[in-house]
């Protein structure tokens, strides 16, 4: 039995790696096809000769899923198609109604998906498998959500699935890992607040690998693939100070590579930062989101003051660690002055690497409803209206929308080179040329990638050349 995973974007998905690792433990064969890396995705899938095609999809890719799954069903009608990922947890019914989709995995699929593969191999119904929604006689059969995977030390993620098929991923000098699943906070712009409710009462939501297992996982990758630095991309890596206390000496002894990690600026303490610094952390990433405190607190439900951001950054910088921030533009109710204040706040706190996106509301969420009530979104807003990326455009009907988008494109350059800010903001307000501001964004992204990931000019160029396909 062979399962071929399909995704659009060019980076390893943790859910896919985890499930592939579990399937291989059961003696099954897995493969991967990345849409942006293939000249013809359908031909690549035909060449793979799978017994099951398994999509992993982001919500912004719903249109891509609909079109590709329908065409696959037309050209490969005997091959069942399943869909998983965060999108399938949030919108299982919307996915299952698609003509090309046979199964939806709603929940963490380490156990349920292996059961589904076994049922398909034996030509049995998926009835009774928690988290597997399916079609039967033209009806949508909705079952209970899949159980939460409690023991993250029970498997290793299958990175060879990606690195063996697409060596350019394995050759990237920076490798990404996750030590935990789940986040305790309920920011309105994040899927976590909705997933937490779906999983309520189904087991411990915030789970973590043991420091020993996590370090062993890193060692296995570093021993086989070229690696000069790491990114720990947990929702909140610097969360449990006791876990860090155990991780610190073990990582320093066994791995000892520089890394970037995630944190929340109102939670981090001097003790957290001391352990991070001692183990080789060179940058901490956290969300600023916007320079406007009211927008951050009232609209985004992220209850962090600007004062607390300054205090947290002070703790981080005192230890000699750099700062990466996440920021959004084109927020509901955002003005041009608000957008500029986001840049000003980042300059004031000494942000080293400013990551920016364009705000994108997801259908049937409280934020999408807020935008519709304010007349910023059309009443029948759906997945068909969502752009393919969080970079290029906004779906909201905003005053000065073009100026806000221009400010987004020049934001990192303003922060990295503060003396350029007056000029860049001036032309952002006065000049109408999307191509020009896309070039500004590409230049700023090139600088940020090279510096935060500690890459050479050549490796940065190669990475961004591939990354462009997903824009």
Q: How many helices (H) and strands (E) does the chain have?
A: 20, 15
Contacts with 124 (C-beta within 8 Å, 6 or more apart), sequence order: none
* DSSP E strand boundaries for 137-190: 139-141, 174-177, 180-181
pLDDT over 80 (residue 470): no
> For residues 414 and 346, what is the distance between their CA atoms, to the nearest angstrom?
9
Contacts with 289 (C-beta within 8 Å, 6 or more apart), sequence order: 189, 295, 296, 300, 302, 326, 327, 328
Tokens coding 165: 């098929």
DSSP 445-459: HHHHHHHHTT--HHH
Helix (H, G, I), strand (E, B) or coil at 266: coil
For residues 51-64, average pLDDT: 95
> For residues 139 and 255, what is the distance between their CA atoms, to the nearest angstrom?
52
Model confidence at 390, pLDDT cuts 50, 70, 90, reads confident
User: What is the reported pTM?
Assistant: 0.93
Model confidence at 467, pLDDT cuts 50, 70, 90, reads low
pLDDT over 60 (residue 124): yes
pLDDT in tens, 166-177: 998 999 889 999
pLDDT value at residue 449:
84
Contacts with 446 (C-beta within 8 Å, 6 or more apart), sequence order: 460, 461, 464
Q: Distances in Å between the alpha carbon of 158 and those of 15, 167, 377?
A: 10, 14, 41
Contacts with 245 (C-beta within 8 Å, 6 or more apart), sequence order: 275
Residues 344-360 as b or e (16 or more Cβ within 10 Å = b): bbbbbbebbbbbbebbb
pLDDT over 60 (residue 356): yes
Structural domains in the chain?
2-141 (3.40.50.280), 171-188+214-470 (3.80.30.20)
DSSP 200-248: TTSS-SSEE--HHHHHHHHHHHHHHS--SEEEE--S-SS--HHHHHHHH
pLDDT over 60 (residue 94): yes
Mean pLDDT of the chain: 94
CB-CB contact of 242 with 468 (8 Å):
no
Alpha helices (H) in 26-157, listed in sequence order: 41-48, 62-75, 86-90, 92-96, 112-121
Model confidence at 364, pLDDT cuts 50, 70, 90, reads confident
pLDDT value at residue 394:
95
Helix (H, G, I), strand (E, B) or coil at 31: strand
pLDDT value at residue 172:
87
For residues 180-187, average pLDDT: 94
Model confidence at 471, pLDDT cuts 50, 70, 90, reads low
Q: Distances in Å between the alpha carbon of 316 and those of 233, 272, 310, 377?
A: 18, 9, 10, 39
Contacts with 319 (C-beta within 8 Å, 6 or more apart), sequence order: 273, 274, 276, 277
Among the ranges given (283-287, 298-302, 445-449), the one the predictor scored with the smallest mean pLDDT:
445-449
> For residues 461 and 455, what is the distance between their CA atoms, to the nearest angstrom?
9
For residues 403-415, average pLDDT: 98
**Rounded to the nearest 5°, which phi and psi values hold at 138?**
85, -5
Beta bridge partners of 289: 327
Higher pLDDT, 16 or 461: 16
pLDDT value at residue 453:
75
């Amino acid at each position: 039995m062979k399962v071929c995973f399909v995704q659009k974007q060019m980076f390893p998905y943790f859910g896919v790696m985890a499930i592939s690792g579990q399937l291989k433990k059961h003696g099954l064969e897995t493969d991967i096809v990345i849409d942006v890396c293939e000249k013809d995705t359908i031909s690549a899938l035909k060449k793979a000769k799978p017994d099951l095609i398994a999509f992993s999809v982001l919500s912004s890719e719903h249109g891509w899923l609909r079109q590709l799954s329908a065409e696959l069903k037309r050209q490969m009608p005997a091959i069942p198609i399943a869909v998983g990922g965060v999108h399938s947890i949030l919108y299982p019914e919307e996915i299952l109604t698609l003509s090309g989709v046979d199964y939806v995995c709603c929940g963490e699929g380490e156990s349920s998906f292996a059961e589904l593969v076994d049922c398909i191999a034996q030509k049995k119904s998926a009835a009774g498998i928690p988290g597997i929604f399916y079609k039967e006689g033209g009806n949508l059969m909705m079952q209970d959500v899949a159980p939460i995977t409690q023991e993250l030390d029970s498997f290793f993620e299958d990175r060879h699935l990606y690195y063996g098929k697409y060596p350019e991923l394995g050759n990237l000098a920076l490798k990404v890992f996750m030590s935990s699943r789940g986040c305790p906070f309920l920011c309105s712009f994040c899927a976590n607040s909705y997933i937490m409710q779906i999983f309520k009462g189904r087991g411990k939501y915030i789970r973590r690998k043991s420091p020993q297992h996590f370090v062993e996982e890193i060692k296995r990758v570093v021993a086989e693939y070229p690696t000069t630095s790491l990114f720990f991309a947990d929702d909140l890596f610097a969360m449990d100070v006791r876990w860090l206390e155990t991780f610190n000496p073990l990582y320093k002894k066994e791995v000892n590579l520089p890394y970037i990690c995630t944190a929340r600026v109102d939670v981090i303490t001097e003790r957290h930062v001391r352990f991070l610094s001692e183990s080789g952390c060179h940058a901490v990433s956290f969300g600023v989101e916007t320079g406007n405190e009211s927008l951050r607190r009232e609209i985004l439900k992220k209850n962090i003051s600007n004062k607390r951001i300054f205090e947290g950054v002070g703790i981080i910088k005192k230890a000699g660690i750099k700062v990466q921030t996440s920021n959004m533009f084109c927020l509901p109710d955002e003005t041009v002055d608000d957008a500029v204040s986001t840049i000003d706040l980042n300059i004031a706190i000494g942000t080293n690497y400013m990551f920016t996106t364009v705000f994108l509301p997801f259908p049937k969420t409280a934020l999408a409803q807020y935008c519709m009530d304010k007349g910023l979104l059309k009443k029948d807003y759906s997945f068909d209206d969502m752009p393919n990326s969080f970079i290029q455009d906004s779906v909201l009907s905003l005053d000065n929308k073009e100026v806000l988008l221009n400010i987004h494109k020049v934001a990192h350059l303003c922060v990295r080179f503060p003396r350029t800010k007056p000029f860049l903001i001036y032309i952002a307000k006065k000049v109408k040329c999307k191509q020009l501001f896309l070039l500004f964004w590409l230049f700023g992204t090139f600088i940020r990638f090279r510096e935060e990931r500690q890459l050479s000019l050549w490796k940065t160029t190669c990475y961004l050349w591939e990354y462009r396909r997903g824009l």
